């Protein structure tokens, strides 16, 4: 079963990202369970890691599993963690960056020009979230739909109303958006339904596959990815 690309056209298999990876063993577990990508959090919260931790994870990451760096932009497009992070991104070929902070159209465009692939989180507040396409998506590789929380950048562990995405797609409001990644409160118990309703290019999970903050569960990882593939297969085209 193929996942939707721009305009809802099916072109590529759906991608699964396991975010908030804090140890090499958890990265390997995610890969063994079938993850396509992992997220390395340099922004904040209980899953934030430093450069040595990231280097240890990347050194053991299996081939063909894509690392995504969560970074805070300061000014035009400078990652918060100074030159060390920039060096890590360059030397370890971490090209996908999920951006927070001073996210402006110019900052995203600069990152794209420098060879990065920016993933831009979009907080979903209500049913009209897609009526006006945000300019910050002009040069984005993907739009990550997450639950709006005025007190948090992301990672709330709460769902939003998935029918809002389906309705926006029906109204063709997402036709000129980049590929959509669904986040926010996904678990092994609800992910199949979430995929069937929203038809995303990819999904992103962190707390829903953990035994505790930053500690991934082998059983939950396996169940989550199995249910996600089931939802992908059950989804109407």
For residue range 105-155, list pLDDT tens digits in order: 999 998 899 889 999 999 999 999 999 999 999 999 999 999 967 565 556
Using CA of residue 191, residue 21, residue 87, residue 136, what is the dihedral sign?
positive
Cβ atoms of residues 17 and 3 within 8 Å: no
State the pTM of this model: 0.90
Token couple for 103: 């996210």
Q: Which of 126, 146, 149, 211 is catalytic?
A: 146
d(CA 23, CA 53): 7
Indicate if 215 belongs to the active site. no
Residue 194's nearest CA partner among 158, 221, 220 is: 158
Listed by start position, the domains of the chain span 11-234
Look at 94 and 56; give whichever has higher pLDDT.
56
The DSSP symbol for 171 reads T
What fold characterizes domain 11-234? Answer: TIM Barrel (3.20.20)
The pLDDT assigned to 35 comes to: 98
Cβ atoms of residues 59 and 53 within 8 Å: no
Q: Which of 19, 26, 36, 204 is catalytic?
A: 19
Look at 159 and 90; give whichever has higher pLDDT.
159
Cβ atoms of residues 162 and 194 within 8 Å: yes
Look at 146 and 158; give whichever has higher pLDDT.
146
């Amino acid at each position: 079963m193929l996942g939707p690309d721009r305009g809802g056209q099916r072109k590529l298999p759906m991608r699964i990202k396991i975010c908030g990876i804090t140890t090499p063993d958890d990265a390997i577990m995610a890969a063994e369970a079938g993850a396509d990508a992992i997220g390395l959090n340099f922004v904040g919260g209980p899953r934030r890691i430093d450069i040595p931790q990231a280097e240890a994870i990347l050194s053991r990451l299996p081939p063909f599993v894509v690392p995504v760096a969560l970074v805070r932009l300061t000014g035009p497009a400078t990652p918060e963690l100074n030159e060390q992070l920039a060096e890590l991104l360059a030397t370890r070929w971490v090209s996908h960056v999920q951006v927070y902070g001073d996210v402006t159209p110019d900052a995203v465009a600069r990152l794209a020009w420098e060879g990065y692939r920016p993933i831009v989180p979009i907080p979903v507040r209500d049913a009209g979230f897609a009526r006006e396409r945000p300019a910050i998506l002009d040069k984005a590789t993907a739009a990550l739909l997450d639950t709006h929380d005025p007190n948090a950048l992301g990672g709330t562990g709460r769902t939003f109303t998935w029918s809002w995405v389906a309705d926006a797609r029906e109204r063709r409001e997402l036709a000129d958006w980049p590929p959509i990644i669904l986040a926010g409160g996904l678990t092994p118990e609800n992910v199949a339904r979430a995929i069937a309703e929203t038809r995303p290019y990819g999904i992103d999970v962190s707390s829903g596959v953990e035994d505790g903050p930053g500690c991934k569960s082998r059983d939950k990882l396996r169940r989550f990815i199995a249910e996600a593939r089931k939802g992908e297969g059950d989804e109407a085209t």
